[in-house]
Homo-oligomer: A and B are copies of this chain.
């Protein structure tokens, strides 16, 4: 009945991601996005009323995708395997971390009325809750130190991805060393 679409949601979100990471929330504009999609700006307004709505939808999509992959963690036996899987996933999806932080930013300046706001607020907590099960397993197995707060353990692991590799250390060595620091620390044991 209708004419063929020039772009799909996946393409749209792909470009939106680039722009968001490059320019941040305030620097993100419909003009920029429309140019990238090689489509008129008004076409975007057919699907999203404004920037907030588009960005919120995109973030929900992005985090759901990450959560889906993350859920595979439950299929692995034992804490150590899960630990390895998690670190590798985080490094595979480097940007998710940045986007989660951006999400807090978006929520902060979003009008309360938005329906998608609820979803966006819920997702990071979902993720934390999900990861908490993994932490509990580690503590139950006697692998993780009991006295360190769960929230810090989760945050610590997620944060490592954002360490800037200024000196261009090879990725394999980089990740390996990060795993060591997280698990055993950077101090010698005397």
Instruction: Give residues in A with beta carbon < 8 Å to B.
Output: 23-27, 101, 104, 124-125, 128, 142-145, 147-153, 155-156, 158-160, 162-167, 169, 173-174, 177-178, 180-190
Contact = CB atoms under 8 A, between A and B. Distances in A.
A153 to B, nearest CB: 6
B187 A144 contact: yes
Contacts of A158: 163
Nearest to A161: B159
Given A27-B27, A159-B159, A182-B185, A128 B166 contact: yes
A102 B157 CA distance: 22
Nearest to A139: B188
A147 B188 CA distance: 11
Contacts of A149: 167, 169, 173-174, 177
Nearest to A124: B166
B160 A177 contact: no
Nearest to A157: B186
Given A128-B166, A156-B160, A180-B185, 19 more contacts: A23-B26, A24-B24, A26-B26, A144-B186, A145-B180, A148-B181, A148-B186, A149-B169, A150-B167, A152-B163, A152-B174, A152-B178, A155-B164, A155-B166, A156-B181, A159-B159, A159-B162, A162-B162, A185-B185
